[in-house]
Amino acid sequence: MSDAITVRGLHKRYKNAVAVDGVDLRVHDGEVFALLGPNGAGKTTTVEILEGFRRRTSGEVSVLGVDPQHGDATWRSRVGVVLQSTGEFDDLTAREVVRHFAQYYPKADDPDAVLARVGLTDKQNDRTRVLSGGQKRRLDVALGIVGRPELLFLDEPTTGFDPEARREFWGLIRDLAAAGTTILLTTHYLDEAETLADRVGVLAGGRLIAVDTPDRLGDRGSGTATVGWLGPDGPRSERTDTPTAVVTRLAAQFGGEVPGLTITRPSLEDVYLRMIGAGE
């Protein structure tokens, strides 16, 4: 499997402060990778280095085979960036904005097709000042993908969205991933990372402390489970590392089906909070 992003020993210092402290990272071609971490963990600095917007102190970085510090216009045309806020274009229509940005790319996608992909066809002739927050975010993504990027950076793309808008946006991200776009996503929403990401990385204190699939991060799949059931005196539960054995015992005790049986393991949030606490 080839890698869209390779990082080795990445450091970034600001005078006496260390923002990134020896990060090693690989993002595979075609995957959705979510970078998690609290404010001040080094996420934004790391991503800005990968995007070529910030210079590193030391380390090796390759993005689509190029050191982003020396990325030229050809390299930039292969990379899409969706910042937390792209800009204000109050007096332009959504279609005018996308058509304008398309002129910057040598092989830009058709603006009307891009607007359709992000669900803005019905709003293409509306001035951007009248678009809702979710519609403006879709416009931001349209500007990020109009150049047909091989790699797309999404910086907290659904901050401020209501639950319905977030789930609609997730569908757009899934469509982009299914079309082969590699996506590096930063988010504070753990359900978003669990839903969208093939793998997640956790940053804390400037260090990448864990990388794995969402269901296996921090040994979620094999960690201590809680078996719950409904006993004669009400709800009962037992924490165990061998839930199958507990269920077998309960099935024998009840002579078959166990009433109210549940088996739960640590959530991604449980694991994440434990990790960042230890990492900081």
Cβ atoms within 10 Å, residue 63: 25
Do 250 and 187 share a structural domain? no
Residues 52 and 169 placed together within one structural domain of the fold: yes
Statement to judge: residues 232 and 197 lie in one domain: no
Both tokens of residue 43?
């996420």
Q: For residue 95, give the CATH number of its domain.
A: 3.40.50.300
Domain check: are 169 and 58 in the same one?
A: yes
Tell me if 277 is assigned to some domain: no
State which of 194, 217, 240 marks the end of a domain.
217
128 and 69 in one domain?
Answer: yes
Quick one: pLDDT at residue 113?
A: 92
- The residue-averaged pLDDT of 79-106 equals 87
Output the pLDDT for position 280.
Answer: 56
Same domain membership, residue 240 and residue 159: no
117-121, 170-174, 264-268: the lowest-pLDDT one: 264-268
What pLDDT does residue 127 have?
94
Are 79 and 152 in a shared domain? yes
Half-sphere CA count of 30, side-chain side, radius 13 A: 5
Cα 123–chain centre separation: 27
Angle, vertex CA 235, rays to CA 234 and CA 236, nearest 5: 115
Q: Does residue 231 sit within a domain?
A: yes
Same domain, 17 and 138: yes
Residue 171 within any structural domain of the chain: yes
Total domains, the chain? 2
Q: Could you tell me whether strands 32-36 and 182-186 are parallel, antiparallel, or unpaired per DSSP bridges? A: parallel
Q: Across all residues in the chain, what is the average pLDDT?
A: 89
Together in a domain, 231 and 181: no
Pairwise CA distance, residues 145 & 151, whole Å = 9
Q: Are residues 49 and 175 in the same domain?
A: yes
How does pLDDT run across 145-204, given as a tens digit for each residue? 999 999 999 988 887 777 887 888 888 889 889 989 999 999 888 999 999 999 999 999
Q: State the pTM of this model.
A: 0.82
- Pair (229, 209) in one structural domain: no
Backbone angles phi, psi at 62, to 5 degrees: -130, 125
Is residue 278 a part of any domain in this protein?
no
Collapse the DSSP code of 196 into the 3-class scheme (helix H, G, I; strand E, B; otherwise coil) and give the result: helix
Round to whole Å and give the CA distance between 129 and 268: 37
| Nearest one of 194, 118, 152, 147 to 30, comparing CA atoms | 152
Asked if 112 and 48 count as a contact pair (C-beta separation under 8 A), the reply is no
Residues 47, 132, single domain; the answer is yes
Q: Tell me, yes or no, whether 274 lies in a domain.
A: no
Q: What is the pLDDT of residue 93?
A: 94
What domain range includes position 91?
3-217
Helix, strand, or coil (residue 188): coil
47 lies in some domain: yes
Classify residue 270: in a domain, yes or no: no
* Start-end of H helices in the chain: 43-51, 73-76, 94-102, 111-117, 133-145, 163-178, 190-196, 243-254, 268-279
In a domain, 271, yes or no: no
Cβ atoms of residues 220 and 266 within 8 Å = yes
